[in-house]
Chain A
Amino acid sequence: MKLMKTIIGTTALTVAGVAAHADSHNMADSMTVVSWGGAYQNSQVQAYIEPYKEMNPGLEVITDESSGEAVTKLRAMSEAGNVTWDLVDVTAADGMRLCDEGLAMEIDHDEMLAPAPDGTPATEDFGGSIVSDCFIPQIVFSTTFGYRTDMVDQKPESVCAVFDTETYPGQRALEKRPIGNMEWALICDGVAIDDVYDTLETEEGVERAFAKLDTIKDQTVWWSAGAETPQLLADGEVVMGSTYNGRLFSAIAEQDQPIGMLWDWQMFDLDGWIIPADLPADRLARVKDFVRFATDTQRLADQAAYISYGPARASSAPLVGEHAELGIEMAPHMPTDPANAENTFLFNYNWWASYRDDLDSQFQAWLLE
């Protein structure tokens, strides 16, 4: 049964793929691409949307910044049977969720994505970043800390500086959700990284994490959008704060703010494309054509010239060059650079999928105490 499905699916894919390559007239001349907005979406526009538009004159690309609500909106669109999106940029966790619910299309990565220049098939080149049958990885990013270089007496080396209010007085910015904060709290309370999630499954473990967070609760500003921490740091409102590493990079390198990076125990996460399930043939053909181009080795390396997120393909890493405008070497600013990646952990999608709702309400209750 399963095998039949796969065979039929693959045949359909191949036919659609052949048709797409044979006759570009069957491709839709408009495409809606959904992403996160800001500098990140800009890097996508510069690195692959604009070049693709140049190759395909007459194509209209509509950009949407709804990735934050992607799961909710796709659910509603599919309930109504009117999916207007063609390609959606989501985090790995959302990608898995959409795939499980049948809202995203399952794909054959080797069939659909370009191999590396040396012929390595896509599945090998992307390696472990293909976390779901629907997910087309683009970048590795991390949630990590930045600090005001002019507000600290000594350079913080460990993430536990966040909990050290004596050496580093001042407010901190943390994300208003349990993910990440609970892990850091336990790590700084002496829990080994391998035991963190087992600890969090117990009531005592959750209490232990909250007790650690309690020590800085009254000095914490809670953020819910990635842009807030750079603004808070630039204003001197907080002495250190967590956010996505690319946001900190642009505040440091592009805006010239007195901010330093604290890479210790950064939390890795993946971001990539999903294609909504059941697109009409012409739109699907267009999206496939675009995705093949946008995720090839060179394009992913190009994107790194605009934002400091690591390309998801192994073959792209050596091609990462200089910043498009500032001309600085980008490799040392990547979260995956060996010098930055001494202590890291991967956002545990599966674990959080089960415990998120529960821990989130406990976290909210804790905030209200």
Chain B
Amino acid sequence: MMADTHFDENGLVLAADGTPLKQSLARALRAQKIRALLLIAPLLLFVTISFVLPIGEMLMRSVQNTAGTEYIPDLMPNVVEEIQDWEPASGEMPAEPVYRALAQDLATAFENRNHTQLGRRFNYESAGMSSIFRKSGRRVSNWDIETDGPFREKFLDIDDDWGNIEYWATIKANSGYYTTSYFLAAFDAQRTSEGIQMKDPDQRIYSKLMVRTLWLSFLITFCTFALGYPVAWLLADLPAKSANMLLILVLLPFWTSLLVRTSAWKILLQQQGVINDFWIALGFTERMSLINNQLGVVIAMTHILLPFMILPLYSVMKTIPPSYLRAAKSLGATNTVAFMRVYFPQTTPGIGAGSLLVFILAVGYFITPELVGGADGTFISNRIYYQFSSSGNWGLAAALGTVMLVVVLLLYYIYDKLVGVDNVKLG
């Protein structure tokens, strides 16, 4: 022990200011932690507001049972209350009180211009419902609730479909503040009189699109690996000067606008395009279908994502001393054995990083499949965008987005376990 070390009466080590050393160190550690968190806090706050909350909002949309800005039970309070006593299984139309409640709610909804949104909401579940709501709104608003009953006949006069039991079952099933309908649709399931069932196999869309998205992303990841590995190896092996020059050939496409690269592939791959012209010039007679199908998507996306494979591979390979391979060979290993047993295992972190990065990015692709995918090569993202912008079924778009988000986060988790998110390198 050094002479100036202090002890208290219990024999604990004291710091220079007289506090126990352990406590003093703990305080220093705490200060360090706080300082680090203070440095991170502004960004954390920023990302939370600009990114995390929006994602949360989207997740909420997938279960909220709304038409326009308002919840269904708020728009149809009377119907929601009365319809609880009606059972779809009874096979009979709802009783008069339900129709009377409908007349009340529809009149209010018409005043507030909500009746067509209600119709649109139910139309997602049962085709044809939007028209009966639209048709009835104006007529119902002229009725007097007190004196004009009974309303069942009046509704049936407007449209026979007001007696359709399937429609009423839809209303009953969607009368809460929250709904599972969008998730059911996202999994190609539907509510029937016998409970929840999968749709007919030839009516399924989203499960097929999801499988296709995952399969094509896997294929694209494999292609980027097959093409990227030799190039990364060459780059790692060359002297830094020439490697950096060649690296520009990798980075240039990476920096060129995605839209531009996609349209370039459009020009190259079409039937009267550059590649097919060359093919014919070689003496072949049949032109190849390279675009508007899955092949086109794989060719274009492999090109676009290749740098994301090469860069992590290269940064890992650069750290492997070439002497290892030489040592293996001088110990009698053949080229193949030296590669398989010595070099390749050391590059696996790079392969893992590159593959997962490419795969995760590919799963979320939208623009390239939209422009070169045709009918065969579209991804789940394209359908989300369609539901979101053209069809306006925001709930379904959100539910599909949530499913996709879960898949991606799962992959991200695996990525983190295998590679560590703090080990991603970009060139």
Contact = CB atoms under 8 A, between A and B. Distances in A.
Contact of A235 (B116, B130, B208, B272): B272
Interface in B111-159: 112-117, 123-124, 127-131, 134, 141-142
A222 B375 contact: yes
Contact of B113 (A101, A171, A358): A101
B383 interface: yes
Given A2-B141, A101-B117, A354 B374 contact: no
B130 A354 contact: yes
B375 A367 contact: yes
Contacts of A368: 204-205, 208-209
B343 interface: no
A358 B126 CA distance: 8
Given A72-B392, A357-B124, A368-B209, A2 B142 contact: yes
A236 interface: yes
Contacts of B389: 68-69, 72
A71 B393 CA distance: 11
A153 interface: no
A236 B287 CA distance: 12
A2 B204 CA distance: 45
Contact of B127 (A2, A72, A358, A367): A358
A364 B272 CA distance: 28
B374 A221 contact: yes
A365 B374 contact: no
A357 B113 contact: no
Interface residues of A, number: 37
A355 B203 CA distance: 16
A6 to B, nearest CB: 13
Interface string A156-193: 00000000000000010000100000000000000000
Contacts of B69: 79
B123 A361 contact: no
A69 B391 CA distance: 10
A201 to B, nearest CB: 8
B271 interface: yes
Nearest to B138: A2
A26 interface: no
Contact of A364 (B124, B130, B205): B205
Interface in A197-240: 220-222, 224, 235-237
Contacts of B388: 72
A222 B374 contact: yes
B292 A221 contact: yes
A18 interface: no
A357 B375 contact: no
A369 interface: yes
Interface string B189-220: 00000000000001111001100000000000
Contact of A354 (B114, B127, B205, B273): B127
A62 interface: no
Given A350-B131, A354-B128, A355-B127, A362 B203 contact: yes
Contact of A236 (B204, B205, B272): B272
Contacts of B270: 235, 237
Contact of B393 (A237, A355, A357): A357
B131 A354 contact: yes
B68 interface: yes
Interface residues of B, number: 39
A32 to B, nearest CB: 19
A44 to B, nearest CB: 23
A176 B116 contact: no
Contact of B392 (A71, A176, A220): A71
B128 A101 contact: no
Contacts of B383: 364
A353 interface: yes
Interface string B161-186: 00000000000000000000000000
Given A2-B141, A72-B388, A365 B128 contact: no
Contacts of B393: 357
A360 interface: yes
A21 interface: no
A369 B202 contact: yes
A72 B385 CA distance: 11
Given A101-B117, A176-B375, A353 B205 contact: no
Interface string B364-377: 00000010001100
A176 B389 CA distance: 15
Given A101-B116, A237-B271, A357 B203 contact: no
Interface in B389-417: 389-393
Interface string A31-74: 00000000000000000000000000000000000001101100
Interface in B284-338: 292
Given A235-B272, A236-B272, A361 B205 contact: yes
A355 B390 CA distance: 15
A337 interface: no
A346 B129 CA distance: 23
Given A72-B392, A101-B117, A357-B123, A365 B131 contact: no
A358 B335 CA distance: 61
A101 B68 contact: yes
Contacts of B130: 353-354
Contacts of B272: 235-237
A17 interface: no
A155 interface: no
Nearest to A1: B141
Contacts of B391: 356-357, 360
Given A100-B116, A101-B117, A236-B272, A353 B134 contact: yes
8 contacts: A68-B389, A72-B389, A100-B115, A101-B116, A235-B272, A354-B129, A365-B205, A367-B375
Interface of A: 1-2, 68-69, 71-72, 75, 79, 97, 100-102, 171, 176, 220-222, 224, 235-237, 350, 353-362, 364-365, 367-369
Given A235-B272, A237-B271, A365-B204, 11 more contacts: A1-B141, A79-B69, A100-B134, A176-B375, A235-B270, A236-B272, A353-B130, A357-B391, A368-B205, A368-B208, A368-B209
Interface of B: 68-69, 112-117, 123-124, 127-131, 134, 141-142, 202-205, 208-209, 270-273, 292, 370, 374-375, 383, 388-393
9 nearest CB pairs, A to B: A102-B113, A358-B127, A100-B116, A354-B131, A367-B375, A236-B272, A69-B389, A222-B375, A235-B272
